[in-house]
Amino acid sequence: MRGKKKIKITFIYLICILLAGATLFPIYWMVIVSMRSKLELFTGPKLYQTSIFVNNYYRPLFKDIYGKFLINSLIIATGNTGLVIFLAIFATYAFSRFKIWGSESLFFWTITNRMAPPAAFILPFFLIFTKIKLIDTHIGLILLYCIFNLPFAIWLLKGMIDAIPKELDEVASIDGCSMLGTLWHIILPVAKPGLAVTAMMTWIFSWNEYLFASVLTSMNARTITTGLAEFVTVIGTNWGEMAAVSVVCLLPAVIFLGYIQRYIITGLTFGAVKE
Amino acid sequence: MRTSQYKAWGLLAPTLVILFFIGLVPFLYVIYLSLFKYNIWSVRGMVFAGVDNFRKLMFDSSFMHSLGIGLTFVVITCLIETLLGLAIAIFLTNEFVGKGVFRTILTLPLAIAPITIGSIWVLMTNPDIGPLPYILHKFGIDYNIGVNAKQAFFTVVFMDIWHWTPFVTLTLLAGLTSFPKEPFEAAKVDGANKWQTLRYITLPLLTPVILTMLFIRVMDTFRIFDEVWMLTGGGPGTATRFVSIDVVRRVLVSTDYGYGSSMSVFLLYLTIVMCWLLLNIISIARREVHEG
């Protein structure tokens, strides 16, 4: 019996290492490439690296335009998150505490908004943004990203606000709290952890977006993902620098991972599946 | 009751206003555009064409091709991801030390930007520096996704599986761990073996979660763009030119605004129909699980 258990444990860890290796290897490879100079890269694939070629990071971020792209991405992601969370708090409270006529169709509408292929929307947005002079501005993208982040934030927050007992609201209103007062003094403090997670995921989705940013910006509000996509050119690609910018793109995901991992499935399935 | 309705709509108003302007207005605008012949390089400007664009679209073999490979891609990836994800999820119902770390590792690809995923796989598959061509060359396979259409398609499939199987795994695992204990204990008492328990208890209970997961995966793979654009750009030839890529090329490269709009509208129509259909199937499945 003991031997059998040992075999089972060994088997489990073997599978784990295999799967973790398969998941991590491509990312590991990218990090390794980002640390190599051109010369090192073309001497054949080696699996380890002992030195760092800092210029891969330094040149694009400080000598080239990528530092600016990085700041643009930060501004847009943060601005969008602020706007989305602000709007979502009110909307979620309405969905959670009131019976609203037609909330079923609202649900369907927000779901299709989220599922719609962005490719189908680039043309109307491009023409409208050109007309109202929002093209290549930060505010344009901040507003635009609400199209997928707002439904997302509402459905993620809804589960969390639903979990707060209604009695709390009633007690507050008996004590003479107005509706907004209740929201501010009762709901928000309780929902703070949920809000933080929602904000982080919203931020990451804005940060990660590529297609709209590539069509609707040219120079002033270009984001880092768009810059990354332009690395591959016909005259030859600096692989080391491309890998370095990819690593920079990846960093926020790694930083937030610990906080969001418990909610990421709930978030990605609109709260239909809870962990 | 009346005032509470006003209050609710008051709270919703800013959200609805924003979603109206960025969701509904562009939607109506693209429908409007799809009724015109409109290419910015054409001297005639916008010419009303009625449903001509749509008629042309139905006989457009390149669009139908992209729709075809898009759907093939959806079927292949979703099938493999579901089976693989289910297997890993069932494997993860075992308790062992270090499971938390393993789960964190699985979550990582889900948080990475799709464009970065593309760039990661560019670095993996590039003929000059990538390890994949290097290894495959040792087995006597010439691997170059810039040239070989089949290899390009299956590399994209592989990339999507690498990216999204963790999502399937974690979703199904969340479902698996939320089940009531009674049916499983009853099965044990009745002497059911592991396979029977899986077939007759676990899978039926899991069906609503599987369907929800499939719904999201189907919609996401159908509209896939960033990763593929970065990795292959839709090529070589039209091997990986999925619908989204076809639309973007039509609009940005050929600047055929009218025709591109009709493609967009058709795509949105498909999206709405698919959403409606799949959501209905899910709610029926849920009801059946609750009643039976």
Segment B75-98, tens digit of pLDDT: 999 999 999 999 999 999 888 888
Contacts A98 to B, Cβ<8 Å: 4-5, 7-8, 11
Is B222 within 8 Å of B243 (Cβ atoms)? yes
A182/A213 same-domain check: yes
Q: Are A128 and B26 inside 8 Å of each other by CB?
A: yes
Angle, alpha carbons A20-A199-B229 (nearest 5°)? 55
Q: Mind spelling out the 3-state secondary structure of A201-257?
A: HHHHHHHHCCHHHHHHCCCCCCCHHHHHHCCCCCCCCCHHHHHHHHHHHHHHHHHHH
> Model confidence over B129-167: pLDDT tens digits?
888 988 898 898 888 888 899 999 999 999 999 999 999
Indicate if the pLDDT at residue A43 is higher than 80: no
User: Which residues, numbered 46 to 85 in chain A, qualify as contacts with chain B under a Cβ-Cβ cut-off of 8 Å?
Assistant: none
**Local confidence band at A1 (pLDDT 50, 70, 90 cut-offs):** low
A92/A12 same-domain check: no
Is B127 within 8 Å of B133 (Cβ atoms)? yes
> Model confidence over A73-95: pLDDT tens digits?
999 999 999 999 999 999 888 88
pLDDT of residue A234: 64
Higher per-residue confidence, B157 vs A253? B157
Higher per-residue confidence, A271 vs B90? B90
Contacts of A261 (CB under 8 A, 6+ apart): B103, B104, B107
The answer as to whether A274 is a domain residue is no
List, as one string, the DSSP characters of B129-181. T-HHHHHHHHTT----TTT-HHHHHHHHHHHHHHHHHHHHHHHHHHHHHTS-S
* Domain range enclosing A24: 1-53
Q: What is the CATH number of the domain that holds A66?
A: 1.10.3720.10
The answer as to whether A157 is a domain residue is yes
pLDDT > 90 fraction of chain B, expressed in percent and rounded: 37
Q: Count of domains in chain A?
A: 2
A95/A161 same-domain check: yes
Q: Which of A163-172, A213-222, B83-92, B108-117 has the lowest mean pLDDT?
A: A163-172
pLDDT, average across residues A34-45: 81
Q: Are A29 and B109 inside 8 Å of each other by CB?
A: no
Q: Which domains does chain B have, with CATH numbers?
A: 57-291 (1.10.3720.10)
Angle, alpha carbons B216-B217-B223 (nearest 5°)? 95
> Touching check for B50 and chain A: CB below 8 Å?
no
**Local confidence band at B127 (pLDDT 50, 70, 90 cut-offs):** confident
A219/A242 same-domain check: yes
pLDDT of residue A60: 85
**Local confidence band at B199 (pLDDT 50, 70, 90 cut-offs):** confident
A135/A165 same-domain check: yes
The answer as to whether A273 is a domain residue is no
Contacts of B157 (CB under 8 A, 6+ apart): B73, B76, B77, B80
A37/A129 same-domain check: no
A200/A251 same-domain check: yes
Indicate if the pLDDT at residue B292 is higher than 60: no
A194/A240 same-domain check: yes
> Model confidence over B45-80: pLDDT tens digits?
788 888 888 988 889 999 999 999 999 999 999 999
Best of B119, B217, B250, B257 to substitute, by most chain A Cβ atoms within 10 angstroms, is: B119
pLDDT of residue B46: 80
Query: What is the average pLDDT value for chain B, to the nearest integer?
Result: 88
ipTM for this model: 0.89
Indicate if the pLDDT at residue A112 is higher than 80: no
Distance CA A49, CA B241 (A): 36
Query: What is the average pLDDT value for chain A, to the nearest integer?
Result: 86
